[in-house]
Amino acid sequence: MIAFLTGRLIFKAPTHLTLDVQGVGYEVHIPLSTYYALPNLDEVTALNIHTHLREDAIQLFGFLSQGEKESFLLLTSVSGIGPKLALSALSSLSVTDLVHAIQTEDTEKLATVPGIGKKSAGRIALELKDKAGKIHGASPRAATADVPTLDGPYEDALSALINLGYRAQDAKEVLTRVMKNAPESLTLKELIRKGLKELARG
């Protein structure tokens, strides 16, 4: 069971990365919160890993902070919440916001996560209320380095939003509107954040 990996970052995207560990490339699925804080390509990074075993595959899920990993495991302990939905939650809410929403039973906040409806939000709050406070890092997160502007951030942002569960047409319309109204060019990080904000408003 892989629980931790340290290696050279050879590929990164909003939903996954590839880590070269002594010549072996590991594909690791990640939330946006981890993506935002990744170093540049070819730099060494360390990830907390959860190894998810399925009948047809072995999947690795990676997190820069222990709090993110603990939140992921806690969420997937709830019936009906799989790894994809747990990543979506961590991509939409910070660990602090997630814990606060669970502890205060803020189902409206939880239901803003793509794929989680009011019923699932209520189940998460009910089952995890007494456990969420034990998560590491449930406080304002340290600021992370800005992601540099990339070529074609629109396409990467669109891919990220679709992978989070939003409809392609809705994501396209929102991103186009965000870019049109921006006074200057946006980084991928800013574009995704603004897009999520607009989509959460409905």
Q: Are both 191 and 165 inside the same structural domain?
A: yes
Q: Could you tell me which residues come within 8 angstroms of residue 133 by beta carbon, excluding any fewer than 6 positions away?
A: 99, 103
Both tokens assigned to 201? 């408003």
Out of 47, 63, 79, pick the residue that ends a domain: 63
CA distance 191 to 186: 6
Q: pLDDT confidence of 140, banded at 50, 70, 90? A: very low
Domain total for the chain? 3
Do 187 and 159 reside in the same domain of the chain?
yes
Provide the CATH number for the domain around residue 58: 2.40.50.140
pLDDT tens readout for residues 21-54: 999 999 999 999 899 889 999 999 999 999 998 8
Domain that holds residue 160: 153-201
* Shared-domain flag, residues 59 and 80: no
Helix (H) or strand (E) holding 11: strand 4-12
Among the residue ranges 86-90, 145-149, 169-173, the one predicted with the least confidence is 145-149
**pLDDT number for residue 61:** 96
* 194 and 169 both lie in a single domain: yes
CA distance 25 to 17: 10
Q: Return the amino acid letter for 131.
A: K
pTM higher than the cut 0.85: no
What is the largest distance, in Å, between two alpha-carbon atoms of the chain? 49
